[in-house]
Amino acid sequence: MKVIGLTGGIGMGKSTAANTFRRLRIPVFDADAAVHELQGKGGRAVAPIAAAFPGTVEGGKVDREALRRAVLGNAAALKRLERIVHPLVRDAERRFLAAARRRAEPLVVLDIPLLFETKGQGRCDLVVVVTAPAAVQRWRVLRRPGMTEERLRYILARQTPDREKRRRADVVVPTGLSRHAAQRAIRKLVRENRP
C-alpha cells in the first residue's frame, strides 16, 4: 500500500485537494476532522483538555473558541495542547492505515496540515504540497468569518514556511491557477501511483 502525505499552509487548498482524491475513490485520513472528533462529545481529548485548560470544556465537549483564546499568543500553552492532541491523532491515523491495509487498498492519503512540523513525512511514500502565491493565500483566509490579520500572522509564524514545504515536497500542486489545473495534477499523480 502506498501512502501519500498531503499538506500545505493555511488556505493553500488541502481540503479541496483531499476531495479530489476522494472523488477518485482514494481513502483520505483527515487530521483536522480527527482533532474535531477527539474534542467533540465523547472524544478522548476532552478530559485531558478540561484538566489542562480549565473553563474550555462545556457540555462534554471542547469549546474551541475558548480553547483558541487560551492558547493564542501563548507558545507554552499551545505546546501543552499539542502534547495532548497529537498522540491521539497519531493513534487515529494508525487505525485508519490498519483498516486500509486489511481492505488491501493500493493507495491512501494522509491529509495533515502539520505534516512537516510533526515529522510525519517519514511515514509517507510520497509527499504532496499544495501551494498558491502568498497574496492568494491571504485573500482566501482573510475572507473567512472571524479571521483577522493578527490571527493569520500568528498561525503563519507557527507553520513551516511555504517555500520550505515546496522544497521538501515530492510533488507540488499549484492551486492558485485554476481548479482545473490542480485537479489535473492530482489525477496524474493517482494514475502514476495506483496500480
Ligand X SMILES: Nc1ncnc2c1ncn2[C@@H]1O[C@H](COP(=O)(O)OP(=O)(O)OP(=O)(O)O)[C@@H](O)[C@H]1O
Residues that bind ligand COD (CB under 6 A): 10, 31-32, 35, 64, 67-68, 71, 78, 81-82, 85, 89, 113-114, 155, 158-159
Cβ proximity to ligand COD: between 146 and 195 the closer is: 146
* Closest chain position to ligand COD (CB): 10
- Is 165 labeled as ligand-binding? no
79 binds ligand X (CB under 6 A): no
Q: Which three cell numbers stand for residue 67?
A: 480553547
Q: Which of 4, 10, 57, 129 binds ligand X (CB under 6 A)?
A: 10
Give the binding range for ligand X (CB under 6 A) out of 23-31, 34-42, 57-65, 172-180.
172-180
- Is 175 labeled as ligand-binding? no
Q: For residue 148, is it left (φ>0), alpha (ψ between -120 and 50) or beta? A: beta
Give the binding range for ligand X (CB under 6 A) out of 58-66, 88-96, 97-105, 176-184.
176-184
Q: How far is the CB of 31 from ligand COD (least distance, A)?
A: 4
- Give the residue ranges of DSSP H helices in the chain: 14-23, 31-39, 46-52, 64-71, 75-102, 134-142, 149-157, 162-168, 179-193
Beta strands 126-131 and 57-58 are unpaired
Judged on CB neighbours under 10 Å (0-12, 13-18, 19+), 76 is exposed
Q: How far is the CB of 111 from ligand COD (least distance, A)?
A: 10
φ/ψ of 46, rounded to 5, equals -60, -50
175 binds ligand X (CB under 6 A): yes
Cβ proximity to ligand X: between 77 and 114 the closer is: 114
Q: How far is the CB of 119 from ligand COD (least distance, A)?
A: 13
Give the Cα separation of 57 and 188 in Å (integer). 44
Q: Which residues pair with 126 in a beta bridge?
A: 4
57 near 46, Cβ under 8 Å? yes
- Is 12 labeled as ligand-binding? yes
179 binds ligand X (CB under 6 A): yes
